[in-house]
């Protein structure tokens, strides 16, 4: 077991020292040399050190580190981007207020005598400021102003034991530097997000017009004079924009941007980023032997199949139908008309093994309702593919091994993917309108969404009567209709299966795209997973609880193929899918769009209502199972840090196209992720999602560790919904948003708790939540005990929009600045919320040991809220909210959402009835209906006095009326079972009545079960536990639900008889429960929390 340390982080003191120190030269006997050059020698806003190490001796050297020292200008924090570091990991360490060093860690690497590492080109990184302002290179201890490699003795090399092997050290004396995140990018985008993509290069010539999607290359990209790109431009290398080029979108580059005069860029420009790009899929084409020839001016209808060479001579006409063609060559001479005889639900696929060629004046036409993306051409040729001058071409054309050339005056509607793509002058290329994503209310479908995949299927339960479909478009000017209805639309389901279509179109004359969705009703609409499955390995096929998969990933993969949902029984599950086959720590639970995964089942349920607990359905990154040996959390001792080094980087990885919302994860505890690597391996230890926007319900993110951002959840787009979730004790060592980190999109957080999350880096912001360019709606949530070093102990909003209603912020802290919520360039509207005793740090508190800073920054609008010290706004108060037990927010049972929660309001709280009904939620964090009194409460909890409601749980039924009494008449002796009938009609009978919180779960329940155990005077158990069934009979005067062991009309249930005769305890009888009650004894009640 490990101890949980909930202390606030120590307040950091800022000390400015001015000194001059001569570095100490240490001469090592080891024969190493370090060489450095600045690849950005001529650039003023970035340093690009290339460094390699040479072993000039006769012995190998293993396990070593080297350091590049730099000094930041006042108030600046450097950003490090990794470009090429094949044998080392790179981290940035802060030594004092302005001094940093880049650490190259060669763990596990052996540099042999006479060798260099990594090679003669050196490791490559980039160092710049976030605003790309001028960086003073000459101040850097390790810098050499050279564009060629020179030996650099100021880049020291150390062994892991601390022995200096080469060079001189800067002599800062800091043995415990703060680690700063190193920038990297996430998963690559889908190639289908591009209208034009060239692996090596993409050349857009003068006066070209490109509409829709992204344009770019893995290498070099160029845009000609007067060319217009209506979309984003992206290139892993450099980009060149010629005079008067227009980019109606943003630019992101791995290299640098060069632009001539009068260039227009409407979006943002990002340069020198480490970018990962998509891979164009390749196919093996098996052609036939029959050659097909169409002579001049003749016509032919060619059926799908395998052929040899297909040659269509000038001015002839060829018609293709729906289906697949596999051919050796497909050659159209000038003036050919190619007719596509297909409808919008069809695909016409032409696969070519050797040569695809379109002559000048090629004209494509449609004889059916098909659109451009219903036509696909693929070729494995290595010679250039040319579309022909003055042609009109439709379709998706993929030539991964050759250049695609689009000659002048060609009109092309579709997508182009090649090794190189060159578009000659005066060409218009237009991508049809496509979907960005679609969502089904039944969640499941297959395959995973891709804009270029046009057919999907879903399996739902036989009692489903309809589905709601929501479709979003990739382009701003596009619209989607679902069977003629606008999105979202309701589709009524037939008896067996229902086929419906989604049509996407826009106003740019690029055409549209049609998607097919087939929903099938089946009784086996689920895939079963149980780590304790009784089936042998060969029998585990997921078709029942008796044949459940033991490996959760197999269940997920099965559902991805079948379009079913996944049911997971309680147990401990560990990731098995490796994203890098050479790295065991890359194992993760890999989830794609169209999947719904539900945990918390006991393993026998027949309906989609789990009877178990999310706390007991554990997704663990602790592969060897040794985390229980940790001595403390967060881990700081070397032994503990070593122990977690074998955990996976990401417990759950969610993949998908941009802003995919069609993923639901429900009912799991996600724990033990350790993201301590470089780039994406240093973020999102619990859940890592770059482009998707999942729905997360009833999940616990607990004890996850990251080097950088989002130890609990890292979501590049922001989760669509987080509901009834707990983020607890997640730790980001050097990053921000230890609970939840989101950088874009729209998110809703409802009835969730963030407790004890820590962002520990010197520049870390947002102990629980970090938002950047994100729109957040948060209701009925609790943030308590979270902390960070810099700013925003609970939440940090950077250029974000947040609406916070009926939430409770308590005892969050920051060591430097704002303890509660910090707003930088954001808009934050707060209503009906409690912000109490959030402790600010030394900077905000003018150097004192701390003060309460609930809100810091600008852009706040606060009303009907309780804030420490008060805050300007309508209905705000400043009095102590008088929580029930603030020192124990989760209550004695350690679980939020139960009646002993410590941040509930007491009966004398000034926050009672002081909220506004405007925009207030209908229920509170515990699903209690609002209001319970005269008005809405401030904070996450609506006031309920459970103790007062249940002061008289026992009573008698007299002519159907419940008469409460706590006097329990004991029957001293029962001679015969027939006496039970007699006593049940006497004044000795009792009826159990409970007043239960009115919330969704209890409103939906018609019955509950209470468990009663007799206890002796000394506290020992006197007899076995008795289960008493209770029927819902209505509400009391306070709106609480009434459950009773017998209905008032005597038509349902049993009465209760207490006896001193232990022999009759638990007697099975249809008239009454018989319960033994010893002398001076007591009764213990137990009502399982899962019923609430």
Burial of 511 (0-12, 13-18, 19+ CB in 10 A): buried
pLDDT at 2: 29
pLDDT at 169: 86
Residue pair 3/633 in contact by the 8 Å Cβ criterion = yes
What is the distance between the alpha carbons of residues 43 and 48, in angstroms, rounded to a whole number?
A: 9
pLDDT at 849: 56
The pLDDT tens digits for 447-474 are 888 899 999 999 999 989 999 999 988 8
Q: Is residue 337 part of a domain?
A: yes
pLDDT at 975: 64
DSSP string, 1054-1065: -EEEEES-GGGT
Ranked by mean pLDDT, which of 178-182, 590-594, 751-755, 1044-1048 comes out on top? 751-755
The pairing of strands 455-460 and 513-521 is: parallel
pLDDT band, very low/low/confident/very high, at 12 (cuts 50, 70, 90) = very low
pLDDT band, very low/low/confident/very high, at 416 (cuts 50, 70, 90) = very high
pLDDT at residue 1092 greater than cutoff 60:
no
Mean pLDDT within 933-939: 91
- The stretches of 600-738 forming alpha helices (DSSP H) are 638-643
1010 in the same domain as 1083:
yes
pLDDT at 832: 97
Backbone phi and psi for residue 552, each to the nearest 5 degrees, phi listed first: -60, -40
Q: Could you list the residue range(s) of the whole structural domain that residue 233 is in? A: 191-270
pLDDT at 29: 45
pLDDT band, very low/low/confident/very high, at 8 (cuts 50, 70, 90) = very low
pLDDT at 871: 95
The pLDDT tens digits for 668-718 are 999 999 999 877 888 999 999 977 889 999 999 999 999 889 999 999 888
Q: Give the three-class secondary structure for 912.
A: coil
pLDDT at residue 15 greater than cutoff 50:
no
Burial of 201 (0-12, 13-18, 19+ CB in 10 A): buried
1063 in the same domain as 955:
yes
Listed residues 404, 425, 455: the one ending a domain: 404
pLDDT at residue 182 greater than cutoff 80:
no
Cβ-based neighbours of 417, under 8 Å, separated by 6 or more: 191, 194, 196, 197, 280, 396, 397, 398, 399, 400
1066 in the same domain as 972:
yes
pLDDT band, very low/low/confident/very high, at 988 (cuts 50, 70, 90) = confident
DSSP string, 970-1038: EE----STHHHHHHHTSTT-BEEEEEE--BHHHHH-SEEEEEEEEE-TTS-B-S--EEEEEEEEEE-TT
Residue pair 365/413 in contact by the 8 Å Cβ criterion = no
The pLDDT tens digits for 884-903 are 999 999 988 788 887 789 99
Residue pair 964/995 in contact by the 8 Å Cβ criterion = no
Q: Is residue 79 part of a domain?
A: yes
The CATH number given to whatever domain includes residue 462 is 2.60.40
Listed residues 490, 521, 552: the one ending a domain: 521
pLDDT at 161: 85
What is the distance between the alpha carbons of residues 591 and 441, in angstroms, rounded to a whole number?
A: 18
What is the distance between the alpha carbons of residues 158 and 174, in angstroms, rounded to a whole number?
A: 15
Q: Is residue 895 part of a domain?
A: no
166 in the same domain as 29:
yes
Q: H or E stretch including 332? A: strand 323-332
117 in the same domain as 59:
yes
The pLDDT tens digits for 940-975 are 999 876 544 445 578 888 888 888 776 777 777 776
Cβ-based neighbours of 985, under 8 Å, separated by 6 or more: none
What is the distance between the alpha carbons of residues 667 and 460, in angstroms, rounded to a whole number?
A: 20
DSSP string, 734-759: SSS-SSEEE-SSEEEEES-EEES-EE
Q: Which residue's entry shows tokens 């995964």?
A: 597
The pLDDT tens digits for 803-850 are 999 999 999 999 878 899 999 889 999 999 999 999 987 666 665 556
Cβ-based neighbours of 915, under 8 Å, separated by 6 or more: 806, 831, 832, 864, 875, 935, 936, 937, 938
Q: H or E stretch including 713? A: strand 713-715
pLDDT band, very low/low/confident/very high, at 25 (cuts 50, 70, 90) = very low
156 in the same domain as 40:
yes
Q: Is residue 109 part of a domain?
A: yes
pLDDT at residue 4 greater than cutoff 50:
no
Pseudo-torsion of CA 714, 715, 720, 722, nearest 10°?
0
Ranked by mean pLDDT, which of 121-125, 803-807, 1020-1024 comes out on top? 803-807
What is the distance between the alpha carbons of residues 586 and 675, in angstroms, rounded to a whole number?
A: 10
Terminus-to-terminus CA distance in the chain, angstroms?
30
Q: Which of 177-186, 300-309, 1004-1013 has the lowest mean pLDDT?
A: 177-186
- Structural domain count of the chain: 5
Is the pLDDT higher at 307 or at 1034?
307
What is the distance between the alpha carbons of residues 536 and 62, in angstroms, rounded to a whole number?
A: 46
Q: Is residue 983 part of a domain?
A: yes
HSE-CB at 349 with a 13 A cutoff on CA atoms is 12
Q: Give the three-class secondary structure for 621.
A: coil
Residue pair 105/91 in contact by the 8 Å Cβ criterion = yes
The percentage of residues in the chain with a pLDDT greater than 90, rounded to a whole number, is: 54
Mean pLDDT within 407-423: 95
Mean pLDDT within 988-1006: 79
What is the distance between the alpha carbons of residues 672 and 660, in angstroms, rounded to a whole number?
A: 26
Q: Which residue's entry shows tokens 């707003």?
A: 823
Backbone phi and psi for residue 759, each to the nearest 5 degrees, phi listed first: -105, 105
What is the distance between the alpha carbons of residues 515 and 503, in angstroms, rounded to a whole number?
A: 6
Q: Is residue 710 part of a domain?
A: no
pLDDT band, very low/low/confident/very high, at 1070 (cuts 50, 70, 90) = confident
Asked whether the CA dihedral 1016, 1020, 1024, 1027 is positive or negative, the reply is positive
Cβ-based neighbours of 476, under 8 Å, separated by 6 or more: none
Residue 121 tokens, joined:
């080109």
If we measure between CA atoms, which residue out of 670, 667, 651 comes closest to residue 614? 667
Q: Which of 192-201, 243-252, 323-332, 960-969 has the lowest mean pLDDT?
A: 960-969
397 in the same domain as 305:
yes
Listed residues 521, 536, 560: the one ending a domain: 521
What is the distance between the alpha carbons of residues 964 and 303, in angstroms, rounded to a whole number?
A: 85
pLDDT at 185: 36
- The stretches of 563-685 forming alpha helices (DSSP H) are 638-643
DSSP string, 496-553: SEEEEEEEEE-SSSS--EEEEEEEEE-S--EEEE-TT-SS-TTT--SSSGGG-BSSHH
Q: Tell me: cis bond preceding 752? Omega within 30 of 0 counts.
A: no
The CATH number given to whatever domain includes residue 120 is 2.60.40.710
362 in the same domain as 299:
yes
The pLDDT tens digits for 639-659 are 888 889 999 999 999 987 666
DSSP 3-state helix, strand, coil percentages of the chain (rounded to 5)? 5, 40, 50
pLDDT at 771: 94
Pseudo-torsion of CA 204, 205, 208, 212, nearest 10°?
0
pLDDT averaged over every residue in the chain: 87
Residue pair 867/835 in contact by the 8 Å Cβ criterion = yes
pLDDT at residue 872 greater than cutoff 90:
yes
Is the pLDDT higher at 1025 or at 982?
1025
DSSP string, 947-981: HHHTS--EEEEETTEEEE----PEE----STHHHH
DSSP string, 830-856: EES-EEE-PEE-TTTTTTSS-EE-SEE
The pLDDT tens digits for 726-785 are 999 999 998 899 999 998 889 999 999 999 999 998 778 999 999 988 999 999 999 999
The pLDDT tens digits for 65-78 are 999 999 988 767 78
pLDDT band, very low/low/confident/very high, at 390 (cuts 50, 70, 90) = very high
| Number of Cβ within a 10 Å radius of residue 1085 | 13
159 in the same domain as 32:
yes
pLDDT at 157: 94
pLDDT at residue 595 greater than cutoff 60:
yes
440 in the same domain as 399:
no
pLDDT at residue 569 greater than cutoff 70:
yes
pLDDT at 276: 64
pLDDT at 982: 73
pLDDT band, very low/low/confident/very high, at 1006 (cuts 50, 70, 90) = confident
pLDDT band, very low/low/confident/very high, at 203 (cuts 50, 70, 90) = very high
pLDDT at 96: 75
DSSP code of residue 12: P
Does the reported pTM lie above 0.75?
no
Q: H or E stretch including 329? A: strand 323-332
DSSP code of residue 138: T
Is the pLDDT higher at 596 or at 86?
596
Mean pLDDT within 571-592: 91
Q: Is residue 378 part of a domain?
A: yes
214 in the same domain as 314:
no
120 in the same domain as 36:
yes
The pLDDT tens digits for 272-290 are 665 667 888 889 999 999 9
Q: Is residue 927 part of a domain?
A: no
Q: Which residue's entry shows tokens 């993110």?
A: 701
Ranked by mean pLDDT, which of 716-720, 794-798, 988-992 comes out on top? 794-798
What is the distance between the alpha carbons of residues 123 and 87, in angstroms, rounded to a whole number?
A: 9
Residue 232 tokens, joined:
């984003």
């Amino acid at each position: 077991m490990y101890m949980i340390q909930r202390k606030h982080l120590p307040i950091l003191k800022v000390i400015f020292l001015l000194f001059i120190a001569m570095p100490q030269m240490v001469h090592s006997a080891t024969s190493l040399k370090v060489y450095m050059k600045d690849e950005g020698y001529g650039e003023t806003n970035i340093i690009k050190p290339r460094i390699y190490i040479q072993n000039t001796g006769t012995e190998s050297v293993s396990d070593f580190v080297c350091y590049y020292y730099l000094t930041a200008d006042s108030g600046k924090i450097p950003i490090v981007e990794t470009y090429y570091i094949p044998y080392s990991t790179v981290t940035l360490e802060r030594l004092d207020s302005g001094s940093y060093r880049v650490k190259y860690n060669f763990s596990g690497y052996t540099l042999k005598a006479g060798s260099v590492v990594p090679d003669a080109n050196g490791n490559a990184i980039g160092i710049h400021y976030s605003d790309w302002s001028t960086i003073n290179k000459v101040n850097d201890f390790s810098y050499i102003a050279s564009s060629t490699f020179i030996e650099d003795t100021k880049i020291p090399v150390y062994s892991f034991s601390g022995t200096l092997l080469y060079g001189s050290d800067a002599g800062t004396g800091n043995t415990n530097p703060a680690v700063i995140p190193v920038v990297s990018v996430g998963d690559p985008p889908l190639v289908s997000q591009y209208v034009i993509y060239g692996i090596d290069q993409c050349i857009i010539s003068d006066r070209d017009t490109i509409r829709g999607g992204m344009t770019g290359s893995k290498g070099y990209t160029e845009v000609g004079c007067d060319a217009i790109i209506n979309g984003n431009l992206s290139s892993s290398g450099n980009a060149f924009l010629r005079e008067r080029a227009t980019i109606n979108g943003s630019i992101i580059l791995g290299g640098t941007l060069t632009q001539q005069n009068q260039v227009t860029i409407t979006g943002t420009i990002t340069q020198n980023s480490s970018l990962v790009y998509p891979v164009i899929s390749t196919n093996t084409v098996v052609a036939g032997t029959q050659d097909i020839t169409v002579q001049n001016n003749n016509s032919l209808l060619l059926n799908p199949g395998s052929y040899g060479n297909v040659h269509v001579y000038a001015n002839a006409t060829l018609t293709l139908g729906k289906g697949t063609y596999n051919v050796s060559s497909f050659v159209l001479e000038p003036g050919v008309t190619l007719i596509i005889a297909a409808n919008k639900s069809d695909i016409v696929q032409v696969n070519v093994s050797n040569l695809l060629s379109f002559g000048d004046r090629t004209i494509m036409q449609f004889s059916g309702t098909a659109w451009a993306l219903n036509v696909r051409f693929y070729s494995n040729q290595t010679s250039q593919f040319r579309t022909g001058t003055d042609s009109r071409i439709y379709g998706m054309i993929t030539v991964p091994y050759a250049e695609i050339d689009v000659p002048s005056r060609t009109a092309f509607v579709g997508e182009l993917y090649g090794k190189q793509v060159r578009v000659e002058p005066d060409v218009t290329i237009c991508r049809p309108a496509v979907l960005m994503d679609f969502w089904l209310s039944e969640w499941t479908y297959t395959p995973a969404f891709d804009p270029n995949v046009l057919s999907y299927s879903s399996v739902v339960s036989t009692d489903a009567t309809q589905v709601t479909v929501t479709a979003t478009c990739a382009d701003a000017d596009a619209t989607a209709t679902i069977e003629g209805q606008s999105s979202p639309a309701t589709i009524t389901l037939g008896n067996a299966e229902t086929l419906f279509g989604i049509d996407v179109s826009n106003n740019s004359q690029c055409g549209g795209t049609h998607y097919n969705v087939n929903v099938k009703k089946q009784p086996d609409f689920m895939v079963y997973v149980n780590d304790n499955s009784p089936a042998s390995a060969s029998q585990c096929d997921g078709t029942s609880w008796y044949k459940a998969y033991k490996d959760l990933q197999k269940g997920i993969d099965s559902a991805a193929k079948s379009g079913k949902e996944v049911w997971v029984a309680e147990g401990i599950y560990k990731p098995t899918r490796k994203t890098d086959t050479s790295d065991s720590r890359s194992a993760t639970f890999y989830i794609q769009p169209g999947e719904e995964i539900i945990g918390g089942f006991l393993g026998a349920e027949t309906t989609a209502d789990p009877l178990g607990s999310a706390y007991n359905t554990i997704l663990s990154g602790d592969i060897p199972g040794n985390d229980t040996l940790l001595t403390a959390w967060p881990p700081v001792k070397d032994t503990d840090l070593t122990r977690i080094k074998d955990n996976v980087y990401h417990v759950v990885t969610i993949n998908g196209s941009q802003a995919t919302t069609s993923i639901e994860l429900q009912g799991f505890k996600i724990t033990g992720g350790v993201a301590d690597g470089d780039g994406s391996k240093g973020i999102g230890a619990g859940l890592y999602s770059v482009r998707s926007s999942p729905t997360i319900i009833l999940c616990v993110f607990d004890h996850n560790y990251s080097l950088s951002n989002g130890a609990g959840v890292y979501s590049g787009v922001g989760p669509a919904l987080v509901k009834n979730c707990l983020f607890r004790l997640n730790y980001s060592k050097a990053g921000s948003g230890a609970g939840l980190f989101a950088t874009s999109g729209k998110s809703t957080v409802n009835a969730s708790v963030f407790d004890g999350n820590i962002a520990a880096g010197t520049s870390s912001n947002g102990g629980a939540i970090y938002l950047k360019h994100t729109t957040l709606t948060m209701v009925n949530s609790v943030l308590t005990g979270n902390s960070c070093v810099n700013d925003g102990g609970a939440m940090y909003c950077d250029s974000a929009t947040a609406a916070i209603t009926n939430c409770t912020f308590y005892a969050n802290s920051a060591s430097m600045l704002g303890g509660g919520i910090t707003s930088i360039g954001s808009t934050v509207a707060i209503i009906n919320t409690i912000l109490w005793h959030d402790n600010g740090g030394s900077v905000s508190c003018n150097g004192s040991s701390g003060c309460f800073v609930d809100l810091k920054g600008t852009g706040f609008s606060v009303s009907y809220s309780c804030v420490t010290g008060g805050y300007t706004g309508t209905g705000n108060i400043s009095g102590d909210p008088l929580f029930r037990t603030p020192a124990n927010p989760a209550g004695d049972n350690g679980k939020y959402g139960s009646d002993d929660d410590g941040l509930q309001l007491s009966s004398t709280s000034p926050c009672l009835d002081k909220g506004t009904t405007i925009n207030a939620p209908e229920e509170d964090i515990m699903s209690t209906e609002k209001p319970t009194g005269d008005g809405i409460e401030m904070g996450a909890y609506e006031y309920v006095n459970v103790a007062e409601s249940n002061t008289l749980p026992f009573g008698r039924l007299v002519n159907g009326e419940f008469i409460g009494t706590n006097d329990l008449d004991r029957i001293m002796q029962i001679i015969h079972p027939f006496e039970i009938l007699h006593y049940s009609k006497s004044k000795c009978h009792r009826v159990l009545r409970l007043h239960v919180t009115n919330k969704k779960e209890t409103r939906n329940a018609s019955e509950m079960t209470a468990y009663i155990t007799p206890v002796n005077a000394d506290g020992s158990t006197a007899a076995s536990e008795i289960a008493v069934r209770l029927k819902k009979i209505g509400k009391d005067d306070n709106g609480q639900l009434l459950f009773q062991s017998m209905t008032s009309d005597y038509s349902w249930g049993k009465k209760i008889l207490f006896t001193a005769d232990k022999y009759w305890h638990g007697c099975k009888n249809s008239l009454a429960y018989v319960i033994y009650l010893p002398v001076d004894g007591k009764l213990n009640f137990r009502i399982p929390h899962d019923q609430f």
